[in-house]
Amino acid sequence: MNNLGENASCAESNVVGRAKMGDVLEVIDRQRALFCEHGFLKYLEGEGTIEQVRAMVPRMAFYVLCFQDILRLARKWCTEPELKAILRTLELEDKGHDAWYLADLERLGIPCSVNQLFSADHEVARDTAFALVSEVLGAPSDHARLAVAQCLEALASEFFERMIGMLARLGHADGLEFFGRKHQLIESSHKALADDAQEKIAAIEVPGPALAGTLAAVQRTFQAMTLLGDDLEASLRSYRTAPKT
């Protein structure tokens, strides 16, 4: 497991006493850079096999299917109009991507049933999704809700770049939607993630009492996603080392 939790305190130490979302975004960016060293993302940069992809991809199903509810609940429970509008944009721009994921599973010949989603193999994905739902429902402030969404969007961009590249190298990228280049382009062109939108977010004031809670939410979000990354990496490696039958 990566030591993102241990590094978070160091990454956040320079934020104390400041109260802008831009400071929170800087912490997210530093945590994003740390996550890029995770073994899961590093593995996706290699060759791999389509059999490994088929073994790994369904293990994220519960998280993928819950992702839009995480954004929906963040927006629904948000009371600050300015922040609510940003969360609404993020929610709308990701709407329907779960259907793309399920369609890609079918194209790749990967079964996915309700029984599977609630099996032991999918336990980590469920724990991750539930942890993130808890973050947005129990957030100490709307700034923390927005921070969770920003963390997830940052991680998604890193994942898609590597996952799509791996599938392209394996000759299986054509015709895919969720794992296709079109999705990556859509993600990168989100209005809420554009430079001007990020500048507006960065300028948003964070009330003093809300800052610590917002930074803590960032740390817990990366910790939850690190556990999912650990599980996905393990599924790739265990398939490679599994004895042939």
Question: What 3-state class would DSSP assign to 140?
Answer: coil
CA–CA dist 224, 229 (Å, integer): 9
Report the amino acid identity of residue 2: N
Q: Is residue 99 part of a domain?
A: yes
**To the nearest 5 percent, what fractions of the chain are helix, strand and coil?**
75, 0, 20
Q: Is residue 9 part of a domain?
A: no
Q: Give the model confidence (pLDDT) of 50-82 as tens digits.
A: 999 999 999 999 999 999 999 999 999 999 999
The pLDDT of residue 16: 52
Q: For residue 122, what are its two tokens? A: 């999918």
Top-confidence residue, 180 or 105: 105
Q: Is residue 174 part of a domain?
A: yes
CA–CA dist 99, 83 (Å, integer): 27
Looking up residue 202, the CATH number of its domain turns out to be 1.20.910.10
| pLDDT above 90 for 173 | no
| pLDDT above 60 for 187 | yes
**For the chain, how many structural domains are there in total?**
1
Report CA torsion sign: 28, 31, 37, 42. negative
Q: Is residue 228 part of a domain?
A: yes
Range of the domain at 92: 14-240
Predicted TM-score of the model (pTM)? 0.88
Q: Give the model confidence (pLDDT) of 79-104 as tens digits.
A: 999 999 999 999 999 899 999 999 99
Compute the average pLDDT of residues 27-54: 95
| pLDDT above 60 for 170 | yes
Instruction: Using alpha carbons, select from 53, 183, 62 the residue that is nearest to residue 109.
Output: 53
